[in-house]
Amino acid sequence: MIDDTLPRKMSESYANFALFILGLSILLPNSNTLGGQRLWLIVLFVIMFMGLFVAVSNRYVGFMPLTLAKPIRTIIALLYTYFVIILLSLLLNSSHVSFRDFGEFLRLIIYAEILLIGYFFGGSLSNSEIAKWMLVFLCIQLTLGVLQYTNVFGARDVLSLIWSDRKALLGKRSTGSFGNPNLLGAILLFLYCAISFLSSKKSHRVLGLTLTTIGVFFTGSRTTLLTFIVIVGLVFLVKKQLKLSSFVKAGLVFGLMVMLVSGVLARYGDKMPYMSEITIVFKHGVQNIQNIRTFQSRIRDWNYKMSVFGSEPDYVRFFGAGPRKEGPFEYLDSQYLFVFIRYGLLGVLLYLYMWGYIMFVIVKNKSVQLGLSNLLLSYFVALLIFGIAAETLSSWRLMPPFYWTLGVLIGRCSCSSSDKQLDVR
């Protein structure tokens, strides 16, 4: 039951704390000047722990009693199981263990914490309020990206004191607050989906699409560009009724997006050399993707790492090689290789079960929370596409917003079964 005696200011404070945590996870500093990303992840962990501790001490959290719904308990149990698998892989590969490997435990704890933050504190936020803040975060990311790209008044040097732009290639690509163009691209799509599915104002949705389109080009990321075209078509299709005319319109939107991208790259390709290579696919078809410079090198790198992993003992292939922050498995640049090599066959099976369960929870509650469900499903599709060439579903930076939103969804659905309904329009 919802406690109506809770002062409104306290309830608002909990909701504001949830928004603060979401914003911090998106705008987390990562420059070496301020101690690096790992330090700020620890800061994020401590702040969330303190917030949850205070709530537990008060025996009341957000808009609902201190109880955990079954989906929350199950997801946390699955994350804990991964905790155990990582521990086993470290013990079985003790000769390859470094101090940095233990950071993997922190990543899982942060996932669980921000899931609880969304569940306990975020459920009282309306969709329009969440969408408004998503638009604010989108504006901030775009502003950072433009300043990094143009370096107006030496802004790039100033911003680099807070957010690393080491992978920005001297301003040829924007990295926003993520230090990586691909990560920035993925979070832009998350913010775009949030605005599209949660905002009740058409002007905000149009603005969100416009700003995201601009931001995608500033990333210079080919993966972001291709995924963006797919997600725009998907969002359009999902928001319409699933009938033949909707598919036709979605196809037209997809075609217009391809024409827009081709036109922009044809005119400004010299300023976006990395992204402009994707025109090979537009002109000659997917079969010519191997002509993209980094494609062959990445394939060779994946083959090499798979051959190294194949030479490991059978128990390593079953339990995984572990985090191995030093050596050939430090960077795998593929979510699918990441799970298989680090967690082994056992980890792959657990991963499939965990994400199958999460998708089941999301789809099951679509009738109750359509906007949040569509947001999570669309972002999940984007992460699957990004996951071909990046570690997405295991990302320190891309997954906290997902788990935060998932927590809000489960919290609202748990609350809706009580006597009092929330107004989340």
Q: Which tens digits make up the pLDDT trace of 386-404?
A: 999 889 999 999 999 999 9
Q: List the structure tokens of 399.
A: 């997954």
Residue 118: pLDDT band (50, 70, 90) is: very high
C-beta of residue 422 within 8 angstroms of C-beta of residue 125: no
pLDDT at 60 over 80: no
Closest CA to 379 of 194, 217, 110, 139: 194
Query: Which is more confidently placed, 235 or 282?
Result: 235
- 238-263: average pLDDT: 69
Give the pLDDT score at 156. 87
pLDDT, mean over the chain = 84
Give the pLDDT score at 166. 79
pLDDT at 418 over 90: no
Residue 284: pLDDT band (50, 70, 90) is: low
pTM equals 0.89
DSSP conformation class of 64: B
- 236-252: average pLDDT: 69
CA distances from 370 to 40, 303, 335, 374, 385 (A): 34, 41, 28, 6, 23
User: Rounded CA gap, 218 and 222, in Å?
Assistant: 11
pLDDT at 425 over 50: no
- Which of 12-16, 134-138, 367-371, 417-421 shows the lowest mean pLDDT across its residues? 417-421
User: Rounded CA gap, 126 and 198, in Å?
Assistant: 9
- 142-150: average pLDDT: 91
User: Rounded CA gap, 28 and 162, in Å?
Assistant: 9
Query: Which is more confidently placed, 280 or 252?
Result: 252
User: Rounded CA gap, 181 and 183, in Å?
Assistant: 6
Give the pLDDT score at 419. 41
pLDDT at 256 over 90: no
User: Rounded CA gap, 393 and 180, in Å?
Assistant: 16
- Secondary structure (3-state) at 254: helix
Give the pLDDT score at 274. 63
- 249-261: average pLDDT: 71
Query: Which is more confidently placed, 150 or 340?
Result: 340
pLDDT at 320 over 90: no
pLDDT at 108 over 90: yes
Residue 67: pLDDT band (50, 70, 90) is: confident
Terminal Cα distance for the chain, rounded: 21
State pLDDT tens for residues 5-37: 545 666 788 889 999 999 999 999 999 999 999
- 66-76: average pLDDT: 90
- 128-135: average pLDDT: 96
- Which of 214-218, 257-261, 415-419 shows the lowest mean pLDDT across its residues? 415-419
- 199-208: average pLDDT: 94
CA distances from 169 to 165, 268, 271, 383 (A): 8, 17, 12, 24
Residue 371: pLDDT band (50, 70, 90) is: very high
- Alpha-helical runs (H) found in 311-369: 314-319, 335-364
